[in-house]
Structure 1
């Protein structure tokens, strides 16, 4: 819940500081109502509060809100305490912080949506099938049901993956023939060359050695003349009484080197230089295309595997179709089970919803659950129908009362503690209708913290906290009202600027009834 809001230099407000944590009714989250003359800045103020949570652009120099929700923000890398502080600073650009850690506006709104619902004038999200089904699932509230529902969700995710894979196979099948021919051609070009790792470097060395074979042979014959003087060296070393082992070792090493040179020369004389050059040319073509022989071999293995897959598409497709059919059968079996449970839950919810619609002077509604195609929550589509009226075309007053009834109907089945922002939820309603809305919102305030803007005395009279927004010389102000000030404000709403004694007495009656 929001405990405190602070705005500085915000549009026509110099400074706003509001405290909301003094509502001490047992189990109550509080109904907080803003009233005031038209154009004073009530909607502007509400937008300012919502801008702290990323719902609108920040226009205040400094804005801050403290909430006491026990949110786990570890996924965002944000440390949390008993309180969470949202703060924005606007200079050349807006900067957002949560617990003094800089974050993006997108992250701020994503986190805020976990505990804030903003019901703008024509918000229909709560009437979407998915949201209604979630309420019905909570009404069922059976362990076996939730086990089946989780089983369905996992199976449906697997079903989607296999379905996508089958679609890819079927698409590949259309292009498989042409692709197979291409892959065979690509593989054959590499197979014809049949490259080996490090082969190119070895052939380049042979090519280099071939260019100097005659010089090697010539030099080897020239060096061999040293052995003609070998005995003379031994005699000399003996005369001077020097050990001849070092010379003997050196001469043996020299003989080995000369033998290797002759062997190499003999080998190179048998090498077909044209064959080496042609082989190098083929390998260079692969290197030019792939970057290296290793990359060419890697490409070859990849395409060989792809060819194998394409040639086995039919077999894989048949197996995949069988697996999908098995999952499809199981999904429909579970979906049928869920459908029957939801139909019974819809009857319960319909009665609950209509009890509130009756209080709100609205016609009865039907909660319909119809079976259609498989979807992530089953095979059900849920809808709320009011006298066959299209929700998108009903009047604003009817629409708002339907929304209030829906929120109240969900109340005992919801485990969420949220803050609701309602902008003139009782607009365009008669006094009797306004009172019905006020009474239902009072009930909702046991579960939710509610911020509401109102031009009606009924809602203002039952508020846990009542704030007045006024404007003077193009400056807006907001203050919390005490009991006497509330009587004055409610009387103004009833009778306008010229408050009659009758309006004041009626205001007292409303306030007394609202606090009774």
Structure 2
């Protein structure tokens, strides 16, 4: 619940401070009504309060609201406290704070949605299918129902994932022919080269060696002459009585190396340099495109796997369709159960709505179920019909009374206490109709904290707190009215500036009836 509101330098308001007296410094559940002459700034003030919670752009230099609500602020990265303080400061730009921690406007509104609802004229949010279904689910209130409802939602999530996968396959199938041709071309290109790891480095070494094959042969022939003096070395070692084994081993190793050099030269002479250069050119093309031979082979395996998958799309598609059909069968079975329970709840809700509609001098409404495609909520589309007329085409006065009836009908199923902002909910109504709306709103205020603007005496008389908005010299003011001041204001609403004795007496009667 909102406990206190402070606004400074806001349009025609210099300063606004809304709170109870010194003994009771907070709003509580109850009906809080703002009245005053047309153009005084009631709607401006309402927008100013709502702007603190992100519903409108802020135009005040400073605005602040103290809220008592059970919200897990830590999940938003905000430190929790006994109360939540929303603050907005406007200098060069708007800055928002919760408990003195800077936050975005989006976060402000997201957090405020936990405890605040704003119902503007002709707003149909509460009549949206998802919200009506949510009310019906709360009315059912059975454990086995919620088990099946949760099972349905889990299965529908899987169903949706498979549908998206199937759509992807169907799209791929359309493009598959062209894509398969491209993949085959890519694979054939790499296959035609048939690269091997290390081959490029080996060929580069052969290319380098080819440039010195004559030098190798020449030096090998020169080195061969050393063996002409081998015998003299053995004789010398014998004369000086030294072991000749080391020399023998060295000469044997040298023979092997010279033989290898000659073999290499012989091999290189038989190498086709054009073939080497062509092969290097092919491998360089792969390296230029993929970065390395290893990467080209990795790409080859990936595309081979992709081609294989494309060639087996029809099989994959059939498997997914089987799973989808199986899931759909289970979903329909669960949805039928959910619909049956919702229809039972729908009768209860319809009875409650019509109970309040009768109080509000409105014809009865009918809750109509229509079957639609499976979605995350089931397959129910709910419409509320009055006199065979869709609610979107009824008058504003009728729409507002129907909205009040719906709010009252679902009150006992609401677990969260909320602050509810209503913009001229009793506009365009007769006195009798206005009183009926006021009485139902009074009933709602047992759980909701209701902020309402009114030009009717009936709603003003039912208020737990009555604030008067006035304007003088282009400056707006707001004050809480005491008992006598309320009589004066309600009499003004009844009879205009020239308040007659009858208007005053009627105002007293209304206030007396409200207390009774």
User: How high is the TM-score relative to the length of structure 1?
Assistant: 0.90
Between the aligned partners of 1:491 and 1:85, the Cα distance in structure 2 is 37
Counterpart for residue 419 of structure 2: 419
> How much has 1:226 moved relative to structure 2?
8.2
Counterpart for residue 514 of structure 2: 514
Structure 1 residues 449 and 261: CA distance shift in structure 2, 3 A: farther
Between the aligned partners of 1:302 and 1:76, the Cα distance in structure 2 is 43
Between the aligned partners of 2:248 and 2:18, the Cα distance in structure 1 is 104
Counterpart for residue 165 of structure 2: 165
Between the aligned partners of 1:491 and 1:23, the Cα distance in structure 2 is 29
Structure 1 residues without counterparts, runs of 5 or longer: 238-243
Counterpart for residue 485 of structure 1: 485
* Contact 1:339-1:371 within 8 A present in 2 as well: no
> How much has 1:245 moved relative to structure 2?
13
Between the aligned partners of 1:73 and 1:400, the Cα distance in structure 2 is 34
**After the TM superposition, which of the residue ranges 266-275 and 411-420 deviates more from structure 2?**
266-275
Question: Is it true that 1:35 corresponds to 2:13 in the alignment?
Answer: no
Between the aligned partners of 2:268 and 2:492, the Cα distance in structure 1 is 113
SS at 1:335 equivalent: helix
Q: How does 1:28-427 map to 2 (within 5 A)?
A: 29-218=29-218, 265=265, 267-427=267-427
Q: How does 1:8-19 map to 2 (within 5 A)?
A: 8-19=8-19
SS at 1:60 equivalent: coil
> How much has 1:413 moved relative to structure 2?
1.3
Between the aligned partners of 1:476 and 1:346, the Cα distance in structure 2 is 47
Counterpart for residue 241 of structure 1: none
Structure 1 residues 217 and 52: CA distance shift in structure 2, 3 A: farther
SS at 2:397 equivalent: helix
Structure 1 residues 371 and 252: CA distance shift in structure 2, 3 A: same
* Contact 1:23-1:29 within 8 A present in 2 as well: no
Number of residues of Structure 1 aligned to a counterpart in Structure 2: 513
* Contact 1:23-1:464 within 8 A present in 2 as well: no
> How much has 1:261 moved relative to structure 2?
5.6
SS at 2:393 equivalent: coil
Q: What CA deviation, in whole Å up to 9, does each residue of 1:80-131 have, x standing for no partner? A: 2222222222122212222222222222222222222111101012112221
C-alpha root-mean-square deviation of aligned residues, in Å?
3.2
Structure 1 residues 339 and 230: CA distance shift in structure 2, 3 A: same
Structure 1 residues 87 and 504: CA distance shift in structure 2, 3 A: same
Between the aligned partners of 2:21 and 2:325, the Cα distance in structure 1 is 57
Counterpart for residue 469 of structure 1: 469
Counterpart for residue 459 of structure 1: 459
Between the aligned partners of 1:222 and 1:262, the Cα distance in structure 2 is 12
Between the aligned partners of 2:420 and 2:66, the Cα distance in structure 1 is 16
Between the aligned partners of 2:236 and 2:382, the Cα distance in structure 1 is 114
SS at 1:392 equivalent: helix
Structure 1 residues 228 and 130: CA distance shift in structure 2, 3 A: same
* Contact 2:495-2:503 within 8 A present in 1 as well: yes
Structure 1 residues 324 and 254: CA distance shift in structure 2, 3 A: same
Q: What CA deviation, in whole Å up to 9, does each residue of 1:52-83 have, x standing for no partner? A: 11111111111222211121233322222222
Between the aligned partners of 2:492 and 2:367, the Cα distance in structure 1 is 41
**After the TM superposition, which of the residue ranges 438-447 and 162-171 deviates more from structure 2?**
162-171
Between the aligned partners of 1:184 and 1:431, the Cα distance in structure 2 is 82
> How much has 1:253 moved relative to structure 2?
9.4
Between the aligned partners of 2:234 and 2:448, the Cα distance in structure 1 is 112
* Contact 2:2-2:28 within 8 A present in 1 as well: no
> How much has 1:269 moved relative to structure 2?
4.1
Between the aligned partners of 1:249 and 1:14, the Cα distance in structure 2 is 110
User: How high is the TM-score relative to the length of structure 2?
Assistant: 0.90
> How much has 1:502 moved relative to structure 2?
2.3
